[in-house]
Amino acid sequence: MKQRTLVVVSAGLSQPSSTRLLADQLSAAAVTAAAERGIELHVRTIELRDLAHDIMNHLLTGFPPVALKDALDAVAGADGLIAVSPIFTASYSGLFKSFFDVVDKDALADKPVLIAATAGTARHSLALEHALRPLFGYLRAVVVPTSVFAAGDDWGADSSDGFLQTRIVRGATELATEIDRREPATVADPFALTVSFDDLLK
């Protein structure tokens, strides 16, 4: 099987959180959809609440602490990304935005991304289209057509086979298809020599 990496960014603030629950369901569906295409997805989940202080320090100093640098490198090197934010005041959370503010401007170019969000009521669902999708469009990511929103009512007894599950499978399938269409992601080494020592001595 082909080997690919999937990074899941979850911006939930509580533990446990519905944001992380949705993130886990999306990643599980993506693994299944990828396996059907002969791809073994290696999943890494990044909880932004654990990096909140590091993100702020990076914004203030311009230098990422070790744990944040590792997370940023994982995002840059991923073959696909799932990004899930709670909705606060009709938009993504400040923590979610701050993390993507410190992601390298070229890290998401042509990278397949599945966006998702959680909130208390369905009236916040349009935030996916007027906030999250434009953000990743600006970063030149390839955002799959289906976005996934989960309100509080979606986590009831019928959630396993209801509308939410349908959108989870559809979005994950679109993400797996985009990952399958691309060569494995590569990250350029900024310290790598682009010319030989011999050429430098000429």
pLDDT value for 61: 94
pLDDT value for 49: 96
For residue 190, what are its two tokens?
């900024």
Burial of 67-102, coded b for 16+ CB within 10 Å and e otherwise, reads: ebeebbeebbbbbbbbbbbbbbeebbbebbebbbeb
Beta strands in the chain (DSSP E): 2-10, 39-47, 80-88, 91-92, 112-118, 142-143, 148-150
pLDDT in tens, 159-187: 555 789 999 999 999 999 999 999 998 76
Contact partners, residue 12, CB within 8 Å, separation at least 6: 18, 19, 20, 23, 47, 49, 84, 86, 118
User: Please, what are the averages of pLDDT over each run of 10 residues along the chain (202 residues)?
Assistant: 96 92 97 97 97 96 95 97 95 96 96 96 88 96 97 68 88 97 76 56 62
CA distance 201 to 26: 53
CA distance 69 to 55: 10
CA distance 1 to 92: 36
Q: Please, which residues bridge with residue 4 across strands?
A: 41
Residue reference for tokens 């020592």: 197
pLDDT value for 198: 64
